[in-house]
Chain A
Amino acid sequence: MDGSYAAKPMLASKVDVANDGKTFTFALRHGVKFHNGKEMTSADVQASFERYRRISPNAAVLADVESFEAPDPFTFIIHLKKTNAVFLDVLKSPVYPFVILPAEQKDKPAREVEIIGTGPFKLGEWRKDSHLIIEKFDGYVADEGGKPADGLVGRKTVNVSSVRYRFMPEANARIAALQTGEADIISNVPRDLAGRIEGRPDLQVNRILACQQYFIVNTQQPPTDSVQMRQAIRAAVGVDDMIGAISRPAKRSHSMTIPGGEYYGGDINNGFYDQKNPKLAGELAKQAGYKPDHKLKLMTTATYPEFRDAILVLSEQLKEAGIASDVQMVDWATNASNMQTGNGGWNISSTSFCSNPNLGPQQWKFMVYNFPHVKNDAELDAAYDKFYTSLALDDRKTAWRVIEKRVLEQAYMIKIADIGVIQALNRKRLPDFRDFYINRFWNISLK
């Protein structure tokens, strides 16, 4: 994945895609070393893909694979049963990454593999709740033929001996650590505390706007199984108060794509955003047969204050529209699990998506269907089918616009804002650090 989130080869020197979009041939780089010193070959790649297909929660994306093939040690071929125009983009998923592991690891169950990769850093020490140390991997073979480092690909040189991540849940403690020099770089600074750092010339604050926050509406749980009720909720939402409440950098945007992205569709689906119309909300709720004694259940978590705060604001806005609600606090693991299973009797929850809006519609699909528990929506199914089978980008863009409209119009998801994270670093110590949606510690020097 490069700096503009496009899929690019890293362990392969090139990829050939057949004209029918069904066969993908990867020419693997020679001499790539695993952290255990072994050279990577196509057998490792095949084993890793087979393992992914068997145990990854995201295994469904490989459902159309007919076969894997490794004709020689440095060639790997994937055959699909049917055309998938965006298969390479599927492979760039950072949420369930396609990691190449040594073939011996292929039978290990989920979460029990040894951490042996091919990257410029190897695992040093990991103490849960305390710290993670990654060390420079001396056997790393840089992609000499590749372009200069760009995003996550290209030539990487490591100039530091190790990087130590410390897990500090308290924002005050993180900021203090940066101020006293205990830390060189810290992440997730609450928006309202950035001022403490901004005054100091040696420290720098980066605002990285790479995520989008939504309300997810459960289509299987009454009364939000009714489309009017969902639209009533959408009509009640005023995003400015939410942007004001969440302690994150945030920007108004109606779109499910970050502006500037390949699939960004301009203002076309603007009408569903920030309606701020409690009167309309009340009427729609009435049409849906809503009775005030039926309280909506808003599920959220304190782990992510921005989700909690958005839900608290929503609860007040619903109250204004005459819709009663109860806030249910759970830990994030329960929240995420309930969101996926539909358990817990929740009507609305809030979450943010950090890769999907950047990576494209193929990464969205799972969330779009799974979180609101969309069932029997022929229009959405057809649009996604068209998206996957269209080899021309313009046709895929058209399909995505239909998908986006359907999701927002049916109020499966209600967009709140594009949100970001604030990172702060010591500019004197890290003069050539460049921010990206994830931190990169290659090609930087430590002063």
Chain B
Amino acid sequence: MTDAALDPATVAPSALQRGAALARRLFRHLSFRIGFVIVALLVMVAVVGPLLHTADPTAMQMRFRFRPPSARFWMGTDALGRDILSRFVHGARLSLVIGLWVAILSGIAGTIFGVLSGYVRAIDSLVMRIMDALLAFPPILLAIGINAALGPQVHSVIIALSVSYIPRTARIVRASALVVRELDYVQAARISGASGLRIVLRHILPNSVGPLLVQLTFVFAYAILAEAALSFLGIGPPPPTPSWGNIIAEGRDYSVEAWWIMLFPGLGISLAALGMNLLGDGLRDVLDPRLKIEG
């Protein structure tokens, strides 16, 4: 990059200041604070948990089947005598990894389609019709279809869910692009010979970041719920993978006698989705109060 305006030396201070101001405003927002604490806790569980609690999440001990929560097994054991805490901790990691990847992938792909559609008018109609068509399939159904095609693996769950949420992110970026490209100074930049790529990078993307980030936070929450649902239906990551949905699916027959098997992962899913939704609410209120994004 030879462009002086993109030189970090000149951009960084103001960006830093703006970031700090934004963070202060966000942390004054109650929902954001609560969401942040929940998500931070779960991230800690997912990152540090496997290091502290070293029990093998797939190791079986038949003599310890269906043990209720105790000092030895904090969350009890399942039908195969596996330690639920250990499976919970690994499940947290998987859920967050899947949510994060889905948010990243659908964010990137949605941005590409949104920018193309909003900036290159010639293909706008086609791209948006394809997005409309994709949008016509309920995400979980589309994911079921794609996942069945690709085989039940972690990466196919990520791909399937990412595809399902692309239309939503693409629409948001396109909407920003449409507004920005008509602004006077952008028109001026174009007339003065700025390249399309430059306009996209300098003007369209920065203006889409806010709404996109809000949307992606909700996508993150839905991806966690959808992954759990896919696992529950038997088309998620295969056992013995300790995913929250798998633990519930494997424990659902014993929900009366061994309530702990499905209680903890259910709480985990709910908390993770709740935390992300709260973060999203806070981001939305602060970044763009007029925004009506709901996933």
Contacts and interface: CB of A to CB of B under 8 A. Distances in A.
Chains A, B in direct contact (C-beta < 8 Å): yes
Given A241-B62, A302-B249, A313-B80, 8 more contacts: A170-B252, A172-B253, A193-B253, A245-B60, A302-B234, A327-B238, A327-B239, A329-B152
Interface string B117-128: 000000000000
Interface size class of chain A, counting residues whose CB lies under 8 Å from the partner chain: 20 to 34
A172 B206 CA distance: 53
The secondary structure that dominates the B interface is loop
Contacts of B238: 327-329
A309 B79 contact: yes
A312 B250 CA distance: 12
Interface of A: 170-172, 190, 192-193, 195-196, 240-241, 244-245, 247, 302-303, 305, 308-309, 312-313, 315-316, 327-331
Contact of B60 (A171, A192, A303, A312): A312
21 contacts: A170-B253, A172-B253, A172-B255, A172-B256, A192-B253, A193-B253, A193-B254, A196-B256, A196-B257, A244-B65, A245-B62, A247-B79, A302-B234, A302-B239, A305-B253, A312-B60, A312-B240, A313-B60, A316-B58, A327-B239, A330-B152
Contacts of A315: 58, 240
A172 B253 CA distance: 6
Interface string B178-197: 00000000000000000000
B59 interface: yes
A171 B253 contact: yes
Interface of B: 58-60, 62, 65-66, 79-80, 152, 234, 238-240, 249-250, 252-257
A233 B245 CA distance: 31
Given A192-B254, A195-B257, A312-B80, A329 B234 contact: yes
Nearest to B254: A192
A309 B81 CA distance: 12
A231 B250 CA distance: 31
B253 A247 contact: yes
Contacts of A312: 58, 60, 80, 239-240
B98 to A, nearest CB: 17
A303 B234 CA distance: 9
Contacts of A244: 62, 65
A94 to B, nearest CB: 28
A319 to B, nearest CB: 9
B80 A329 contact: no
B239 A192 contact: no
B254 A245 contact: no
B115 to A, nearest CB: 39
A196 B255 CA distance: 12
Contacts of A193: 253-254, 256-257
